[in-house]
Structure 1
Amino acid sequence: MNTPTVHTDTAPSPVGPWLTTPEAAERLRVSRWTVHELARRGRLQAFRLSPGGPLRFKVADLDALLVSARPTPD
């Protein structure tokens, strides 16, 4: 099984709070598994705020993913 590409970043987010996997899943209206898959496939950037810590996601990254997934009008 591939693990998500993860960035260790100890600096506070300049664009808002960090969200946990369950919080990210709720915001995207998908399962936690889907959030991990999006990160693993490189569609969603994941961070660890400390080495070996749980995954965290930036609100701006989640919102950008939502915008990119919207269908475009014909």
Structure 2
Amino acid sequence: MKTRKEWAKAHLNWKYLDWTSILWRDEVWVEDRKHSRELVTRSTPQEQNVVCFGEKSKRVSGMFCGCSAGPFSGPCLFWEK
């Protein structure tokens, strides 16, 4: 594929109807709380007290995909891992 600049120059004179004939699609991989950390401090007597522990939740991750053509948007889909 040509560089983005060359591609943009080649399509500089396209009209609206030309652009509507293209289906634009994009996808992204998402992960919930990938970069978060939780710091918990407790005194020695509280060390093994279950009340001091937070509930561990399942991480959610998956692929998000969407598309559009002209004024129309396709469905946005999410596939959970």
- Taking structure 1 as the reference length, what is the TM-score of the superposition? 0.16
Greater length-normalized contact order (CA 8 Å, ≥ 6 residues apart): 1
- Taking structure 2 as the reference length, what is the TM-score of the superposition? 0.16
Higher helix residue share: 1
Structure label with greater radius of gyration: 2
